[in-house]
Amino acid sequence: MKTALVGVTGYGGMVLYQLLQQHPAVTEINLYGHSQTTDQPLSEAVPMFGISATAMIHPYDVATIMAANDVVFFATSAGVTSQVAAPFIAAGFPVIDLSGDYRLKQPATYEKWYHKPAAPQAALDAAYYGLAEFGQVGSAKYVANPGCYATATLLGLAPLAQNDLIQPDSIVVDAKSGTSGAGKKLATSTHFSQTNENLQLYKVDQHQHIPEIMQQLQAWNPEIPAIEFTTTLIPVTRGIMSTIYAKVKPGTTAEQLVAAFETTYQHADFVRFGATLPMLKQVQGTNFCDLGLQYNPVTHNVTVVSVIDNLIKGAGGQAIQNLNQMFGLDAAAGLPTHVIMP
pLDDT, tens digit, for every residue of 97-143? 999 999 999 999 999 999 999 999 999 999 999 999 999 999 999 99
Q: Are residues 256 and 155 in the same domain?
A: yes
Same domain, 203 and 120: no
d(CA 292, CA 147): 21
What average pLDDT score do residues 68-90 get?
97
- Closest by Cα among 98, 227, 102 to 167: 227
Report the pLDDT value the prediction gives residue 53, as an integer from 0 to 100: 80
Q: Where are the alpha helices (DSSP H) in 22-143?
A: 42-45, 62-68, 81-84, 86-91, 107-114, 121-126
318 lies in the same domain as 241: no
Q: Is the pLDDT of residue 225 over 90?
A: yes
154-184 pLDDT per residue, tens: 999 999 999 999 999 999 999 999 999 988 8
289 is catalytic: no
Quick one: which H or E segment has residue 294? strand 289-296
Q: Are residues 122 and 249 in the same domain?
A: no
**Whole domain around residue 230: which residue ranges?**
149-310
The pLDDT of residue 32 is 98
pLDDT at 269 over 90: yes
Question: Catalytic one among 75, 95, 144, 148?
Answer: 148
The CATH number for 223's domain is 3.30.360.10
CATH number at residue 103: 3.40.50.720
> Is residue 51 domain-shared with residue 16, that is, in the same domain?
yes
Q: What is the pLDDT of residues 115-126, one digit of tens each?
A: 999 999 999 999
As for how many domains the chain has, the answer is: 2
Q: Is residue 206 part of a domain?
A: yes
Note whether 89 and 113 are same-domain residues. yes
Q: Does 104 lie in the same domain as 156? A: no
Compute the residue count for the chain: 342
Question: Could you check whether the bond before residue 342 is cis, i.e. omega within 30 degrees of 0?
Answer: yes
Q: How confident is the model at residue 301 (pLDDT cuts 50, 70, 90)?
A: very high
Do both 109 and 247 map to the same domain? Answer: no
Residue 253 CB coordination number (10 Å) = 12
Predicted pLDDT at 223: 98
Does the pLDDT of residue 51 top 80, yes or no?
no
